[in-house]
């Protein structure tokens, strides 16, 4: 398609005249010509209000990246969250970067690695994405190889895949949660055999329970006793051939409290010694 004199590529794209244009580089596209990747591991988008407000005010600062597909359409490679926010903000056209299509498996691998490093998706979505790699990517035939590729331990991969063995209703609750839940917490709950306890702990996670509380509940269920606090004991040797011992009754004794305890002990010692000498 020849570009009319005085008309730029962006002018034509803005006018909807995309047929015949080379579909590479930076373009402004109708939002209707952009489709989400159905295999994108991110399915739940949290805390969108701030991004939507920003896009309404100044637009999309960093263009999403897309790849050409059939007809005049494009599929999102990166930027699903920004795309949804743009739609919610009422934009009908957005600027994009058009890239050459990567090999599907290679692109998926990069996306998962990025999300693992940033803990950017929910635990259920991540577990499903990891399982997809194992099922479809011939270069990662084992959990050990997958662990090497994403920079995690084999045990971590095994724990995350265990999440997919949880009952479907619990998985759905976690998938649609508005509360950010750590991978470690869900992996620990997934390894429990007690379905009732699993259900209780998922409920606690959805209420925002911290990881340490989940660990405590799991340890209790296994009959493990909480570890006794580590008591601080300091010995001070003096030139008087006498040593002074400072021993805490709890594990919470910072430097300021140590100094205050020694000063208080010195006052008591002076009072006692003088009383005896009188």
Q: Which of 118 and 212 is assigned the larger pLDDT?
A: 212
The string of pLDDT tens digits covering residues 129-157 is 888 778 767 788 899 998 998 888 999 99
The string of pLDDT tens digits covering residues 43-59 is 777 667 878 988 998 88
Contact 98, 67 (CB under 8 A): yes
**Three-state DSSP class for 96?**
strand
Q: Which of 19 and 69 is assigned the larger pLDDT?
A: 69
Tokens 């998926």, located at residue: 108
Task: Judge whether residue 37 has pLDDT over 90.
Answer: no
Task: Judge whether residue 228 has pLDDT over 80.
Answer: no
pLDDT of residue 61: 84
Q: Which of 175 and 105 is assigned the larger pLDDT?
A: 175
Contact 14, 28 (CB under 8 A): yes
pLDDT of residue 231: 65
Task: Give me the percent of the chain exceeding a pLDDT of 90.
Answer: 24
Residue 17 — pLDDT band, cuts 50, 70, 90? Answer: very low
Most confidently modeled range among 105-109, 131-135, 202-206: 202-206
Reading the block at residue 58, the tokens are 């100044």
Cβ atoms within 10 Å, residue 150: 20
pLDDT of residue 178: 83
pLDDT mean across residues, the chain:
80
Q: Long-range contact list for 47-54, CB < 8 A, 24+ apart?
A: 48/81, 48/84, 48/85, 48/88, 51/81, 51/82, 51/85, 52/85, 52/88, 52/89
Q: Does this model's pTM top 0.85?
A: no
Q: Which of 108 and 192 is assigned the larger pLDDT?
A: 192
């Amino acid at each position: 398609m020849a570009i009319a004199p005085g008309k730029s590529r962006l002018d034509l794209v803005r006018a909807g005249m995309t047929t015949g244009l080379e579909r590479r580089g930076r373009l402004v596209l109708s939002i209707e010509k952009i489709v989400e990747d159905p295999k994108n591991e991110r399915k739940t988008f949290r805390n969108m209000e701030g991004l939507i407000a920003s896009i309404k005010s100044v637009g999309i600062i960093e263009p999403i990246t897309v790849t050409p597909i059939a007809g005049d359409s494009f599929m999102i490679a990166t930027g699903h969250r920004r795309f949804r926010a743009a739609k919610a903000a009422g934009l009908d056209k957005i600027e994009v970067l058009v890239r050459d299509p990567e090999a599907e498996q290679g692109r998926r691998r990069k996306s998962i690695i990025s999300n693992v490093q940033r803990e950017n998706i929910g635990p259920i979505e991540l577990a499903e994405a990891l399982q997809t790699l194992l099922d479809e990517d011939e270069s990662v035939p084992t959990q050990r190889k997958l662990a090497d590729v994403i920079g995690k331990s084999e045990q971590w991969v095994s724990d995350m895949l265990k999440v997919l063995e949880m009952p479907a209703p619990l998985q759905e609750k976690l998938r649609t949660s508005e509360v950010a839940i750590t991978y470690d917490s869900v992996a620990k709950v997934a390894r429990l055999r007690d379905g009732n306890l699993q259900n209780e702990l998922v409920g606690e996670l959805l209420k925002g329970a911290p990881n340490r509380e989940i660990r405590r509940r799991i340890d209790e269920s296994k009959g493990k006793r909480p570890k006794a606090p580590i008591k601080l004991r300091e010995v001070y040797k003096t030139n008087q051939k006498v040593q002074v011992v400072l021993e805490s009754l709890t594990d919470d004794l910072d430097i300021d409290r140590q100094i205050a305890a020694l000063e208080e002990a010195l006052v008591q010692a002076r009072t006692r010694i003088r009383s005896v000498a009188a």
